């Protein structure tokens, strides 16, 4: 791991991931939530790490998640930021922030990610294991948030988290670049010792992506429920007659077999 982007989701994490993985910076691959959710196995390992209180055991799990990645941004990296500082002591630390601070961040969260921690999402997507795991990550995070950062859920969480990251870095005598997407390439490249590209900084419209993903997951959940309920209805309606017909067919085959014998 060469670069740890410590910022919260909704702090240009996808844009920063695109920049880090680009040919200009070359930190490929970069861990991101997009690498977690396609894999049930990886999602289960993240959940196991979230539940593990023993630091040594937790970091052993995290090595299985993060080793092989040259950078990290977004979740699950930010949730284990103090662990990652210990695990990768030579990695550069970038605290990607959101212009507008706590108020802007919370508004963006509520309009894009908040749905995934609701009971409505769980109910809709209950038949799909990957979506259940996704919901459980949000559920555990919500339960642990106050204990770890001493906030009332998301109220004041953004500011508390920024303070936490800077304090943990100070304890370890680690230099931190505080950065926003509006800062672009120059401070990031200077901090990482890279040349500044002539191309524009990649801008990923994460809010639009999250809205699209939300619609896809809802549609998949509804389709799964329709398939389950349709199958149950078909079994209830046609099951008895199918069993009866199958019984008649078996008896007929047995009679034919006896005649042949």
CB 115 within 8 A of CB 214: yes
Domains in the chain: boundaries: 3-204
pLDDT at 197: 94
Per-residue pLDDT averaged across 190-203, rounded?
94
How much is the average pLDDT of 166-195?
97
Among 3.30.70.20, 3.90.1150.10, 3.40.50.880, 3.40.50.300, name the CATH number for the domain at 3-204: 3.40.50.300
Q: pTM of this prediction?
A: 0.83
Supply the DSSP string of the chain, one letter for each residue. Answer: --EEE-PPTTSSHHHHHHHHHSTTT---SEE-HHHHTT-HHHHHHHHHHHH---HHHHHHHHHHHHTT-SEE-STTTGGGHHHHHHH-TTSEEEEE--TTHHHHHHHHHHHHTGGGGSHHHHHHHTT-HHHHHHHHHHHHHHHHHHHHH--BTTBTHHHHHHHHHHHHHHHTT--EEEE-GGG-HHHHHHHHT-PPPSSPPP---HHHHHHHHHHHHHHHHHHHHHHHHHHHHHHHHHHHHHHHHHHHHHHHHHHHHHHH-
Q: Is the pLDDT of residue 253 over 90?
A: no
pLDDT at residue 252 tops 60: no
Render pLDDT for 50-79 as a digit per residue (tens, 0 to 9). Answer: 999 999 999 999 999 999 999 999 999 999
């Amino acid at each position: 791991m060469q670069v740890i982007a410590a910022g919260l989701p909704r702090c240009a994490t996808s844009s920063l991931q695109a920049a880090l993985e680009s040919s200009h910076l070359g930190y490929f691959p970069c861990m991101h939530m997009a690498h977690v959710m396609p894999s049930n196995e990886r999602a289960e390992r993240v959940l196991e790490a979230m539940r593990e209180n023993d630091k040594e055991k937790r970091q052993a799990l995290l090595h299985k998640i993060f080793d092989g990645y040259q950078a990290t941004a977004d979740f699950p990296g930010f949730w284990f930021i103090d662990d990652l500082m210990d695990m990768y002591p030579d990695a550069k630390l970038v605290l990607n922030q959101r212009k507008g601070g706590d108020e802007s961040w919370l508004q963006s969260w509520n309009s894009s990610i908040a749905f995934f921690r609701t009971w409505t999402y769980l109910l809709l997507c209950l038949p799909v294991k990957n979506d259940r795991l996704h919901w459980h990550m949000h559920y555990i995070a919500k339960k642990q948030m106050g204990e770890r950062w001493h906030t009332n859920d998301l109220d004041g969480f953004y500011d508390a988290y920024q303070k936490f990251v800077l304090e943990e870095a100070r304890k370890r005598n680690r230099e931190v670049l505080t950065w926003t997407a509006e800062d672009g390439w120059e401070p990031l490249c200077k901090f990482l010792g890279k040349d500044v590209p002539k191309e524009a900084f990649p801008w990923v419209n994460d809010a639009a992506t999250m809205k699209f993903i939300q619609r896809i997951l809802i549609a998949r959940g509804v389709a799964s429920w329709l398939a389950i309920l349709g199958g149950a209805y078909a079994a209830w309606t046609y099951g008895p007659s199918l069993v009866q017909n199958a019984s008649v067919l078996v008896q007929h085959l047995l009679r034919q077999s006896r005649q042949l014998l």
